Chain A
């Protein structure tokens, strides 16, 4: 951190050091501000202005936009006692999104599915990659295994523990606290403060509150202060209610959070409170309520992008692709440089047979200065499918140059895909092999290798590959169906039946699996 041990800047003679500190604070030079205030407080321990400024500076130095990073911890997700219905109707719960074309959504055979049974999003954000345990009506142990496995299969990513990211951020702040105060101890010993006294002074209380919540990560203490402060303001202050809601949310008391945030919104509609309230509903697994909140907020603040994007994300999670796309477009009209909307729209166009449009969106992202493996990889694919062959390989080369170990497997997989597209099966085979050597758990590569082996006539190798995928990725229906078809052709109807049933479990509308099952049933019924 920049603040640690930084020397206080020179103060020109005749200038008030506090003035310099304020200027530094406004320039977001928090380290210098803290050092200056520390000097001032050493000379005059009861200087309220210096104390206030130092508190603000310490808070701002570690401040994060916690509305955006909300990842559900594994304990919360597994022991979820907030869900209202165990078998909700489709479209009313995140655990049971709308399926198939009924919602204008996308089809699993066109757009690949993530491990949680939703179409892959165009933008990796918290929660899109990991499988939410318990969805897709999988058995309890399978859900647990999926939750413990973390996000991308096989990578070292750990599942989120109780407070999600806040815990790790908290550990970083311990170091800050150790050197924050002059004498080695923490700058403010919250436990020893008389919060009642501070609650009477509105300005100081707010600074102190933010310090406790963002710097100390102590929502319990913060809650105490906020509760006292609301009492002191006769329950009339929307700011305090909003912060109360935030504290309750962090403590997992979702219904209390909802109450406080609603009351805050009634007193004074704000974007932040709207976002937080929607977040509470999402955590309660009431996506439609969240959508209502977003919509009301968007009426009050028609030019705010975050509300529109929030709505779009929720629609995406409910598999309502059509609605989400309209919302992303609105977000782009409000903010033409919104990276997430661009990426999602690009993915949408790519998977609806419009690679040319996807290419334009990806190019726009490139112009915005985004340069990542994923983007170059997607550019390459769009180029290939829109017949711009000369650019395709160059883009793949860039992607490979930028890729780290986690992503190189994906890029090689796509190189293999393109190789299949130009009919060069040898190259495709090698690319998939490389993908597996980089990322031993790259299931899609195993699946495609299986198909290639099948074409070569190596039935046993194909079977082995399919089996690997069955174990590692029960959410993919293709390997199940391919395995079933292979077993059917070899005459092993028992295995064909089992695998075809699993394929249907992963993708209930797959016509070919149904047809296969029908034939099998006929065989079984025949005496």
Chain B
């Protein structure tokens, strides 16, 4: 009897533990070890926390709520945690940065919408709620990012875009090895990523497959944006205009007469209908007023 009870209890305990550990696993972030160790090149202080708060209010608050008040959006699944909680605070800066960069489920990624500086400032704001936190600064020197030059070469025969990344140090050119590179094309709303995020090879080169059918402006110009992220040199962004898109010359939506356009460019059918109705009603009213004068005149004559 006693033994049976024990077995049941152990089984129940096991099931519960298994269930909770599954739940926890579902919420845990799987962050690669090299990302986990990443640190901020910005020193966290009151000023960075303050500007981080502004970024937080605009981009994060609608789901996570006010930090420390646990008033996030309860309708989402999984629920966005309060960022002052231990669950969040025991993550490394690198892990937080990774979460911001990749996003998951309902959480969007902020890699392309917030600058690296702003992303670190948000983390600075989140850390300001943790009294025990001690910052480890990265060895990245953002002032050195100015030295880096990104060269873009497009091969029309193979449709490949080749990038070479070189830092012009005083001691001579240094190629950036194993740096993260992303390629984008500017569109109406934001940037469109081309191919995948890759790393430079030992010569500082990265090659992307470039699509043939991207619509450009009237002569086929595309604005190409390359983003390089390096341990030492930080984030570097470079833009060029290349005539490698499909020439597209669509008139603007407000160029022709349309219902949404200004009064001068109203559709003819509305102008004609409206004006003729007003004119017809007006004409009848004039006729009636004339009749009134006629009545008065007849009476005056007799």
Partners in one complex: no
Residues in B lying within 8 Å of A, measured CB to CB: none
Task: Name A residues whose Cβ lies closer than 8 Å to a Cβ of B.
Answer: none
